[in-house]
Amino acid sequence: MLKHYVVLATTVTLLSFTGGSLSAQQSQEGYPLQSDSLVLARVEGSNTFLAHSTRVGKWNSHSFPEGVSAAPVVAHGACAFDLQGDAITEVVAIDQDGNWCSSRLPAAVKKCSPVVGDGVAAVFVDGKAHAFSAKLGKWDSVAAPVEPQISKDMVMIVAPGFIAVFSAATGTWAVAETTK
3-class state of residue 91 by DSSP: strand
Q: Which amino acid is at 71?
A: A
Distance of CA 149 to the CA centre of its chain: 16
Q: Give the chain's mean pLDDT.
A: 82
Cα separations in angstroms, 169 against 56, 94, 155: 20, 16, 11
Res 36: pLDDT:
62
4 — pLDDT class (breaks 50, 70, 90): very low
The set of residues, in sequence order, having a beta carbon less than 8 Å from that of 4 and lying 6+ positions away, is none
CA distance 177 to 180: 8
Question: pLDDT per residue over 15-29, tens digit each?
Answer: 433 334 343 333 333
Burial 73-107 (b: 16+ CB within 10 A, else e): bbbbbbbbbbbebeebbbbbbbbbbbbbbebebee
CA distance 109 to 104: 11
Overall pTM > 0.75: yes
68 pLDDT above the threshold of 50: yes
- Residue 113: what are its φ and ψ, rounded to 5°? -120, 110
157 pLDDT above the threshold of 90: yes
Res 44: pLDDT:
85
Question: pLDDT per residue over 102-124, tens digit each?
Answer: 999 999 999 999 999 999 999 99
